[in-house]
Every structure is written in C-alpha cells, then in structure tokens.
C-alpha cells in the first residue's frame, strides 16, 4: 500500500493546507509508492515562519553542540542505511549498491560537518592602529531554502543541509517530486538525532512549491541542484530579490583516453561512469574523447561490456543498471536517439528501450560512434545511459574538445604519461578533474561543483561549502582607551604614542 507522506513543519507532520496530494512511483514497475502533500505558498510560508522562529535559538547553540547532533545524524544514518537505500531504490530506480553509496555520502558529510562544529575557522590579522585587535568570523545567515532533485535523494540534500546547519542556519527543504518518501525518511533521522523543532522543515511538491520558496522574503539563501534551465530561473528570480544562491546544474562530462592508456582500467571506469545510475548523475560520463590509435580496441571492449550489463529492478543485487526515473526521462533519451540518427551517428550498441525487463522505464546502455564535437548529442545533456564517442589525434585536441561545451563539471584522462596528465590538470577547465579514474566518485572533503553552465562559481562540500552558508563578519576591538584618529594620519597617531 502506498505510504502517506506529510510535510514536516515546526516539529509536526502535517498535510498541505490545500489538502492536495501527488504520488511517487516505482520506476522499475510503475507501482504507486507514496502519496505526498502538494504544497502551496501557504505551506511554504508556514515552514519559513517556523524556520525563522527556530533560528535565534539554533544560532546561539554553541557550534560544538550543533556538531554533536550531526554526529548523531551520522550514527542513525549508519543504522538505517539499508532501509533508506531500499526505499530510494524503489522510489527512483538506481541499484541498491548505489543507493547505499548515496547514504554513505551523507554519513561522511555528517561526520565532516559535525567536526566543523569545533573549527568553523575564521582568522585574525594585524591591524593598522596600536592597541587594536582584528578578526574575521563566520556568521550564520538565517533561513536557507534547499531545493533538490531526485537522483541523489539523500546525498545531495545532505551536502546542503549539513553545512547550513553547522553554520547555525535553519532549513526549509523542497525535495524532488519523484522522491518524497525518501525525503521524509531522511528528515526522520534529524528528528531522532535531537534537532530542535523548526530547525529543519520539509515541504513536498513540484516546481511551484520550489518557486514559492525562492520568492519568500524570509529566505536569505537558496541552495539549488537540478537542471540548468530551472537553475537559471531560480537564479534570476533570487537575484532580483537580492538573495544569495548556490547552483549545481547540468554536465556534459568526458573521459579522454590517450593511446598509451591502461585499457582494462579505462574500460571499467568508462562503463560505470557512463551507465552507472543509468547515466543520471550530474557527473556521469556522456562523452568519450579517444585518441585514434587505441579507439578500435577500446570500442570493441566497451561494446562487449555494455552488452553484458544486466538491467532490472535495482533491489536485485545481481542487477547492474536500473530503470530511468520516469516517462519524461525516457522520452528525452528516445528523443536524443532520433537527434543522433538525424546527425548521422552510428549506434554501436543499445539505442532503444529495453522491453524484456518488464514495464519499467528501462533503456539499453548505448554507445554512439561517428560523433563530432559540435553535434547536439555531444553538446547537450541527455541524462541517460548514452555515451558519444569523439575521435581525436592528440592530447591538445582532446582538451579542446573537452572544454568546448556549455558545462564544466567533471573530466577525466586515462594516460600512463605523467607529463600528459599534468598538462591535462592544468588545461582542463572543469571544476573536478580525475586522472586514471572515471568522472564520478567525488569525495565530500573537497569542493564539488562546476564551471560555465554547471554553476555560478559557488562550490559544495569541503570548506568551500561553508562559504555558501555563512557570511563574514569583520570585528575590530580597540583596547587603547584613547581617542585614536585612525587612518586619517597614521604617521601622526604613531608619533603621539
């Protein structure tokens, strides 16, 4: 029976004031999984008021105490890892090993940000006057609006919620509309960890619920992950209201394989980066930029590997690739198959819906050859298990092709040549660069985010995340007890000493 999800506002599980609901489905079989509130601007308003009311107490809670709650979040997540993973697999389709990894990222982030409770470092610097002290400290900001997609139902929200909380902010979270049950289970973890009422609030719903959050005057920061199209809308609206925004948007990530690459490593990394999570990660590999010498051998191995992948329900531990998330995602991938055909690509394997695995939104792992760097299939985000192969002659050409897209999240190069690797590190213009590793698998202690159309210059994770959720406060303490004419005439003041 479908689970009944509610909003979580001011420490209570409540329905939408409108009484309206929507459903989430299991993409592997079409079963209704949960019914959740279709929240209106009134619900968002109630949630923001609750977050505002909780803010004063939370910001004055010593950061080490806030950190202890985050450590408890980590422990409870560890205890409930399998339950959460199973629910996520049912709700958005990726295989159970990947949803376990999704929870693990939140656990790692909870420990990391919990530790920040005893750091949250500011700095001191010398000041220009005698008997005066200066320091810069990180200050909390207020209510943070968190808007997230469905592809990492726990990890992506955790990258936003945990740093925002440790910094002393309170939260209103609008999760992806495909994953309300996973979101509710994640919120339960915070409740059971002892987070005070009103510090985290959940409002489920579609884009209009997110838009109400962006527009609410009580929300000071918006942290968004999703499509570039929506992200730019959010950014534009929030900018007109003078809000701070962190954006994580699309990707068109590439793996470069040079002639001297270790073939076994490259085949494995490309397969999992391209087809893992059914290609629905913002860091997924959707372009293979390959030097001509190694291309025939590499493609032969990749086709063999892609054909060997087992599609099916992600709860089955023997399955490699789950379904796409919904009909819209399937339609988009099918649309790009037509685009590719019209552009003259060759389908080496896959290219169509997988109909032998039941009624779910399954699509065959697909390899497209004969792709040139400027084709739409090589430029636009498809967000499915589709890899476009672009042949190049040199490292320089590979780097140019990599950089010449509208996105800049992740890139990778396979080579045994240390000089080529360092040139790639220097010249690849993405926010994340891997050497001899696929384009996925970022760790939470380093900044995460991308250049160009992927972001707006902000980063998640690591110390960089704190910049998104704090503002600097510069403090000057004059302990001279004297009138000091600062800066007007420094020589004279010094002379008067």
Catalytically active residues, by annotation: 248, 282
Interface segment toward ligand ADP; rule CB under 6 A; list 182-190, 204-212, 258-266, 397-405: 204-212
Applying CB under 6 A, among 157, 176, 279, 450 the residue interacting with ligand ADP is: 176
Interface segment toward ligand ADP; rule CB under 6 A; list 104-112, 174-182, 315-323, 334-342: 174-182
Interface segment toward ligand ADP; rule CB under 6 A; list 45-53, 144-152, 354-362, 475-483: 144-152
Residue 173 binds to ligand ADP (criterion: CB under 6 A): no
Nearer to ligand ADP, 39 or 273 (CB): 39
Applying CB under 6 A, among 37, 67, 117, 149 the residue interacting with ligand ADP is: 149
Applying CB under 6 A, among 6, 174, 243, 252 the residue interacting with ligand ADP is: 174
- The least distance separating ligand ADP from the CB of residue 396, rounded to whole angstroms, comes to 34
Interface segment toward ligand ADP; rule CB under 6 A; list 63-71, 132-140, 222-230, 332-340: 222-230
Residue 157 binds to ligand ADP (criterion: CB under 6 A): no
Determine the length of the chain.
497
- The least distance separating ligand ADP from the CB of residue 219, rounded to whole angstroms, comes to 11
Nearer to ligand ADP, 28 or 146 (CB): 146
Residue 290 binds to ligand ADP (criterion: CB under 6 A): no
Residues touching ligand ADP: how many (CB under 6 A)?
Answer: 17
Nearer to ligand ADP, 176 or 198 (CB): 176
Pairing mode of beta strands 386-392, 285-291: parallel
Applying CB under 6 A, among 103, 154, 164, 211 the residue interacting with ligand ADP is: 211
Instruction: Report whether 462 contacts 448 (CB < 8 A).
Output: yes
Spell 458-483 as b/e; 16+ CB within 10 A means b: bbbbbbbbbbbbbeeeeeeeeeeeee
Applying CB under 6 A, among 226, 312, 431, 455 the residue interacting with ligand ADP is: 226
Nearer to ligand ADP, 66 or 174 (CB): 174
- The least distance separating ligand ADP from the CB of residue 157, rounded to whole angstroms, comes to 10
Nearer to ligand ADP, 140 or 454 (CB): 454
Interface segment toward ligand ADP; rule CB under 6 A; list 17-25, 230-238, 333-341, 464-472: 230-238
Applying CB under 6 A, among 16, 230, 402, 430 the residue interacting with ligand ADP is: 230
Token pair recorded at residue 88:
């996520």
Interface segment toward ligand ADP; rule CB under 6 A; list 11-19, 99-107, 202-210, 298-306: 202-210
Nearer to ligand ADP, 69 or 183 (CB): 183
- The least distance separating ligand ADP from the CB of residue 187, rounded to whole angstroms, comes to 15
Q: H/E/C letters for each residue in the chain?
A: CCEECCEEECCEEECCCCCCEEEEECCCCCCEEEEEECCCHHHHHHHHHHHHHHHHHHHHCCHHHHHHHHHHHHHHHHHCHHHHHHHHHHHHCCCHHHHHHHHHHHHHHHHHHHHHCCCCCCEECCCCCCCEEEEEEEECCCEEEEECCCCCCCHHHHHHHHHHHHCCCEEEEECCCCCHHHHHHHHHHHHHCCCCCCCEEECCCCHHHHHHHHHCCCEEEEEEECCHHHHHHHHHHHHHCCCEEEEECCCCEEEEECCCCCHHHHHHHHHHHHHHHHHCCCCCEEEEEEECCCHHHHHHHHHHHHHHCCECCCCCCCCCECCCCCHHHHHHHHHHHHHHHHHCCEEEECCCECCCCCCCCCECCEEEECCCCCCHHHHCCCCCCEEEEEEECCHHHHHHHHHCCCEECEEEEECCCHHHHHHHHHHCCCCEEEECCCCCCCCCCCCECCEECCECCCCECCCHHHHHHCEEEEEEEECCCCCCCCCCCHHHHHHHC
Residue 210 binds to ligand ADP (criterion: CB under 6 A): yes
Residue 37 binds to ligand ADP (criterion: CB under 6 A): no
Residue 206 binds to ligand ADP (criterion: CB under 6 A): yes
Residue 234 binds to ligand ADP (criterion: CB under 6 A): yes
What part of residues 177-196 is at the interface with ligand ADP (CB under 6 A)? 177
Contacting residues toward ligand ADP, per CB under 6 A: 147-150, 174, 176-177, 206-207, 210-211, 214, 226-227, 230, 233-234
């Amino acid at each position: 029976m479908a689970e009944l999800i509610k909003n979580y506002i001011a420490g209570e599980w409540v329905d939408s004031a409108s009484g309206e609901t929507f459903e989430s489905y299991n993409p592997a079989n079409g079963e209704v999984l949960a019914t959740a509130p279709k929240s209106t601007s009134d619900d968002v308003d109630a949630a923001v008021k609750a977050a505002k009311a909780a803010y004063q107490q939370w910001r004055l809670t010593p950061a080490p105490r806030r950190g202890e709650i985050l450590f408890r979040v980590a422990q409870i997540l560890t205890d409930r890892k399998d339950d959460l993973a199973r629910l996520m697999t049912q709700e958005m389709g990726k295989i159970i090993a990947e949803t376990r990894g999704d929870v693990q990222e939140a656990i790692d982030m909870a420990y990391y940000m919990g530790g920040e409770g005893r750091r949250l470092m500011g700095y001191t610097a010398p000041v220009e006057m005698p008997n005066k002290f200066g320091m810069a400290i990180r200050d909390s900001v207020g209510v943070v609006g968190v808007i997230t997609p469905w592809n990492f139902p726990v990890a992506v929200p955790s990258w936003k919620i945990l740093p925002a909380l440790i910094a002393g902010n309170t939260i209103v979270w609008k999760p992806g509309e495909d994953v309300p049950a996973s979101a509710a289970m994640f919120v339960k973890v915070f409740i059971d960890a002892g987070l005070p009422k009103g510090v985290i609030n959940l409002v489920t719903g579609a884009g209009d619920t997110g838009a109400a959050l962006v527009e609410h005057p009580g929300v000071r920061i918006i942290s968004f992950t999703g499509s570039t199209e929506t992200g730019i809308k959010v950014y534009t609206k929030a900018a007109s209201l003078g809000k701070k925004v962190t954006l994580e948007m699309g990707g068109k990530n590439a793996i470069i394989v040079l002639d001297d690459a270790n073939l076994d490593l490259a085949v494995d990394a490309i397969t999992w980066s391209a087809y893992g999570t059914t290609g629905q990660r913002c860091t997924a590999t959707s372009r293979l930029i390959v030097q001509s010498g190694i291309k025939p051998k590499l493609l032969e191995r990749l086709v063999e590997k892609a054909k060997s992948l087992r599609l099916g329900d992600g709860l089955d531990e023997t399955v490699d690739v789950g379904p796409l998330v919904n009909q819209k995602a399937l339609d988009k991938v099918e649309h790009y198959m037509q685009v590719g055909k019209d552009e003259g690509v060759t389908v080496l394997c896959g290219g169509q819906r997988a109909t032998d695995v039941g009624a779910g939104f399954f699509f065959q792992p697909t390899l497209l050859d004969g792709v040139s760097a400027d084709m739409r299939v090589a430029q636009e985000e498809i967000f499915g298990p589709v890899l476009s192969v672009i042949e190049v002659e040199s490292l320089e050409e590979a780097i140019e092709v990599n950089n010449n897209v509208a996105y800049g999240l992740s890139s990778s190069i396979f080579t045994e040549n240390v000089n080529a690797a360092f040139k790639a590190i220097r010249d690849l213009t993405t926010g994340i660069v891997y050497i001899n590793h696929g384009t996925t698998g970022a760790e939470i202690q380093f900044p995460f985010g991308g250049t160009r159309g992927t972001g707006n210059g902000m980063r998640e994770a690591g110390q960089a995340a704190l910049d998104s959720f704090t503002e600097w406060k510069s403090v000057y303490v004059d302990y001279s007890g004297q009138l000091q004419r600062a800066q007007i005439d420094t020589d004279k003041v010094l002379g008067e000493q």
